[in-house]
Structure 1
């Protein structure tokens, strides 16, 4: 089972201006660095929590239907499932009818139930593709404030500890980050 991002978020949960204010900077000279740190901090928070902060497209590959035909999607929250394709032995895709799919996208472990009559893959390797949209919303206003704060905290930490010789500071996460992310972590199934 493999999952990839097919459409990157169109925005970040924290703007460069918000991060600059948090860092108490008045100059715009380091805005490029701050923007990169925000993207990296968002990606880190998403990886640790298994949550998409801003709306993004995902593709999930499976070899076969799991037991009970319940697919646990790898990231939360899931807003919609765009398509489920099953590949025949000749590589031709067969679309699973939307009526055969039932999504529980809001739970901590989003899941997709596939009806028993839906076709199965004939080729066992990555024979099923699930395309879905995940994220709290299209902009920062939809992201839980605790997760926004975690992105700000990481951005500031990495900004302050970017000099050579501070490998220990870079390797450690800032104090309080685990507490911020704790209730948003999803267990891997």
Structure 2
């Protein structure tokens, strides 16, 4: 299984202006640093929760289709499944007709199911099946749930104030408990 980002989000869940207001910064001297901290915080939250915050496009590759003919997509929330492509060992590609599979984007995780038997591929074909899908809460920061946006802002503030990776002579502080608490309702629970 391989997941590849094919189109990054066009915006961040928190703007530089919002982060600066939270940090009480009036100058533009550290805008580049704050922007990079926002991106790092978004990526951390997305990776931790298995979410896409702002609309982005991904490709999910599998070596083979499981016997159940069902696949769970690894990132949520999924807005749409764009295409399923079969890659052969000679570099050829065949698109599976949209009528030959069903996508359940309401479930978490989203699921894709072939309606018939999967096409056969060479037994040693790596990444033979590619599913292109769009995930995210929406195109704008306002589409992201407010607790997640607040957690991103708090994480930016935490990293802005603590720029060294390790504080000698003090207990190491990981992600602040407040940030973890804000993200807790969005964690996937496996039963």
Q: Determine the structure 1 residue equivalent to 2:184.
A: 182
How many Å apart are 1:121 and its aligned residue? 2.8
Does the 8 Å contact 1:158/1:170 carry over to 2? no
Q: Distance in 1 between matches of 2:136 and 2:172?
A: 28
Cα distance, 1:170 vs. partner? 7.2
Whether the 8 Å CA contact 1:76–1:106 is kept in 2: the answer is no
- Give the Å deviation of 1:40: 0.2
- 1:135 positional shift: 0.5
SS at 1:65's partner residue?
coil
Separation in structure 1 between the aligned mates of residue 61 and residue 165 of structure 2, nearest angstrom: 40
Change in Cα spacing, 1:94 to 1:7, as seen in structure 2 (3 Å) is: same
Cα drift, residue 89 of structure 1: 4.0
What TM-score results when the alignment is normalised by the length of structure 2?
0.91
How many Å apart are 1:108 and its aligned residue? 2.1
Q: Which residue number in structure 2 is paired with residue 143 of structure 1?
A: 144
Moved more, 98-107 or 5-14: 98-107
Q: What is the aligned length?
A: 189
Moved over 6 A (4+): 167-170
What is the TM-score normalised by the length of structure 1?
Answer: 0.92
Question: 1: CA distance between counterparts of 2:63 and 2:104?
Answer: 21
Q: What value does the CA root-mean-square deviation take over the aligned residues?
A: 2.1
Which stretch has the larger CA shift, 52-61 or 91-100? 91-100
Deviation at residue 117 of structure 1 after TM alignment:
4.2
Correspondence list, 1:50-129, <5 A: 50-122=50-122, 123-129=124-130
CA distance in 2, matches of 1:187, 1:127: 30
1:161 corresponds to: 162
Q: Is the CA contact (8 Å cut-off) linking 2:69 and 2:117 kept in structure 1?
A: no
Aligned to 1:147, the other structure's residue is in SS state: helix
Where structure 2 has 5 or more consecutive residues not aligned to the other structure, the ranges are none
Which whole-Å deviations, capped at 9, do the CAs of 1:138-187 have from their partners, x for residues lacking one? Answer: 11111111110111011000001014753778751112122111121235
* Cα separation, 2, equivalents of 1:82 and 1:113: 14
C-alpha displacement of 1:119: 2.1
Match of 2:102, SS state, is: strand
Aligned 8 A contact 2:166 2:172 in 1: no
Secondary structure, aligned partner of 1:64: coil
